[in-house]
Amino acid sequence: MTELLQQVRVIDPVSETDQLFDVLIADGYIQAMASHIPDTSSDIQIRDCRGLVLGTGLVDLYSHSGEPGFEERETLLSLLQSAAAGGFTRVSILPDTSPVIDNPALVAQLQQKRREGKGEGGNFSPLSPPLPKLYIWGAITLDVAGKQMTELADLTSAGVVGFSDGQPLENLALVRRVLEYVQPLGKPVAFWPSDRQLTANGVMRESSEALRLGLPPIPASAETTAIASLLELVAAIGTPVHIMRVSTSRSVELIASAKAAGLPITASTTWMHLLLDTKAVKSYHTSLHLAPPLGNSNDVAALRAGVRAGVVDAIAIDHAPYSYEEKVQAFAEAPTGAIGLELALPLLWQYLVETGEFTALELWRALSTKPAECLGQKVSAIAPDQLAELTLFNPQETWKVERKNLHTLSSNTPWLGQQLKGRVVQTWC
């Protein structure tokens, strides 16, 4: 099918474009792009796209799949459909499933499930989304136990996108050995720096709010000391590293200094850490029990500035589905995490772009081209003769976050029942 998108706002971080164009798409490719493309054929489907945004496809650095082991939370298919409905054309899953993704056979099994999924390829509406590309992080340690390394070379041959446990690795001798082993494999390795001893039984960032709410605190140093240790190892060994889930202002300073010194590191924060701070926890909503915990207002400001400046390279979704029964507990007892694949773009656009704090290009870069670069990949420019990997977004469409309106099987989000502004209209993958 040939489609002509008329007067759509093209946001392309690759070419630094934010401009109105007519865009002609056919057979999976961008055929033409100009200020005006005349309608010369009756076979062309013409769409008036005034007010809509056409951007490069969104890329999620890391999220959690319920399958295998926790299919009541999320299947692989529902995860990918949720990602597609949220505008993502590539999604990467962490290995903390059951069993853990620590062997080539499981990698092959999941990729086969992806290939067998319905709706693969083509373009779609969120009502029946095809599936985005699936990337799989291979576990660093067997059973994510943090004691023995997996066969990293075998997992590389199986096609993992990189290596991460998605959990803190506190054995620094093992971290050093991992950095030495992974160096010749040419795959990214991602760590979540967090000192479990300093975290202890904490569930909320150390603050006056934590005292008022009576919740066990987690000091910012639980993250920053772990980051400092990791940076020392990177400086000594030279292996490129991705730092996950950055959540404190001091962490941003450490990463900025390390980058200025030439260390080969990239970093990401999660979308919820850019939008909410400790004050939100007063609701005791268990979907606000996150790991790492929400920071204070200074942390949020530093993270936003870090993303805009490129110190924090990318925004990750870290989609973590849980069943209703798992989340209906006391705040401190509920598992950490919240869903986000279908909510991140609308909320980030509403609270960062429409307020003028971020430009559209700055947000799109952090959700698209920069996450791809952290994975060692590239995103094609929106230009003639390029593959159409695109997201069409309506910033003005309103919708209600309800179970029936979500593709994910879970609904653990503090925005459940609320009206949102902004929704993905169509995606080419």
The residues annotated as belonging to the active site are 318
Question: Residues 271, 317: contact at Cβ < 8 Å?
Answer: yes
Q: Could you tell me how far CA 417 lies from the centroid of its own chain?
A: 23
Question: CA-based angle 397:401:405, to the nearest 5?
Answer: 85
Calpha distance 252→275 (Å, rounded): 16
10 Å CB burial of residue 402 (0-12, 13-18, 19+) is exposed
DSSP state of 330: -
Tell the residue number behind the tokens 């009576």, with chain if given: 214
Alpha helices in 293-404 (DSSP H): 297-309, 324-327, 344-348, 360-367, 369-374
Count CA atoms closer than 13 A to 372's CA, side-chain side.
21
Cβ-Cβ contacts under 8 Å for 422 (sequence gap 6 or more): 345, 346, 347, 349, 350, 393, 394, 395, 396, 397
